[in-house]
Structure 1
C-alpha cells in the first residue's frame, strides 16, 4: 500500500534505506498482488450465499481503488428480495458518482454496469430489463433472469476512496 511521500529537510543525509522506502517500496506496492476481501451481499431482505461463493479483491494506490467481485450461486443459495448491494473494500469519496462493468451469466449472459453513489460503501448492478428492452433495472432475484444454482456475477469498479 502506498503512503504519503516524505517531506525532505535541507541538509538531511539521504541514505539507501530512505531511498528504498521512498522510491522502491512505493513502486513495489503498485505491482504487488491484489488484496482479497469478502464483500457483503445485501438487499431489502438479505440473500444468503450458503454453499455458493462470494469473493472480492482490490488494488489500492493512493486513494484510487479498483475492486473486483465474483458471486457464484450455490444449490442452497437463497436470493432474498429487493435490489442487491455489494460491499466495497473502502468507502467512496464524496462528490463523485462512479460506474463500472458487470456481467451476469444466468439463463442468458447479461452485460450491465456497476452504479455507485458518492460516499457509498456499496454498489449495485443494473442490467437490461429483458432481451428486447434495453432500459435498465437494478439486479435482483428475478432481474434480469431468475437466479439459480451455478449462475455467476462478475463486477468491477474503479473509484476514489474517501481516505
Structure 2
C-alpha cells in the first residue's frame, strides 16, 4: 500500500476500526516496510555495456514521493563496458521540479574513488561522475576507462534521494 492522503473527518462522525486501520496502521506499515529490490538497466551513450556474468541490484524505499535508492553493480569476467557515458535507471521517474538532485557514488577497483550522481528534473535514470584520474579534481562521466579501466571484480555503488513524479 502506498501512503494515502489523510482523510478529512466530520464533526460527530462515528469512526470505525476499519477507518482507523486504514488511516493509521496501514500508513505506518508502509513507512516501516522493507526496501524493495529492482533491476536497474545499465546503458552507455554510444555502445551499451553487457553485464555478462556480473551482477546489478537496485533497492529502493518510497514514502509518499520521497525515494531513497541504492544501486550495486559488480563487474564479472565476461562483462563488457561499452563506450560513452554510463547511465543507470532509477526505480521511479523523478519529479519535474527545478534543479538537479545529487547523490553519492563509489568506484571500487585498485583504488576507491568518491563520486556523485546527478538526478535531473523528470529523469528516469542517473549518471555517475568521478575524477577522470587521481591527478585531477574535476568530475567526468563514468565510462569504460573513467575513473579507471574497469575489470572483473570492480564495483560501482550508488546511493541517492530524490522526489518522484508520482
TM-score (norm 1): 0.96
Specify the SS of the correspondent of 1:13: coil
Which residue in 1 is equivalent to 2:4? 3
In 1, the alpha carbon distance for the partners of 2:50 and 2:12 equals 60
Deviation by residue 1:61-93 (Cα, 9 ceiling, x = unmatched): 000000100000000001110000010011101
Which residue in 1 is equivalent to 2:13? 12
In 2, the alpha carbon distance for the partners of 1:159 and 1:5 equals 23
Residue 136 of structure 1, aligned match among 136, 139, 162: 139
Unaligned runs of 5+ in 1: none
Residue 49 of structure 2, aligned match among 47, 58, 69: 47
Deviation by residue 1:89-111 (Cα, 9 ceiling, x = unmatched): 11101123110000010121111
Question: 78-87 or 7-16: which moved more?
Answer: 7-16
Unaligned runs of 5+ in 2: none
Number of paired residues?
163
In 1, the alpha carbon distance for the partners of 2:158 and 2:50 equals 19
The offset of 1:28, in angstroms, is 1.5
Residue 151 of structure 1, aligned match among 142, 151, 154: 154
Specify the SS of the correspondent of 1:66: strand
The offset of 1:3, in angstroms, is 2.0
Which residue in 1 is equivalent to 2:70? 68
Contact 2:68 2:160 in 1 (8 A): yes
In 1, the alpha carbon distance for the partners of 2:108 and 2:51 equals 17
Runs of 4 or more, structure 1, over 4 Å off, are: none
Which residue in 1 is equivalent to 2:130? 127
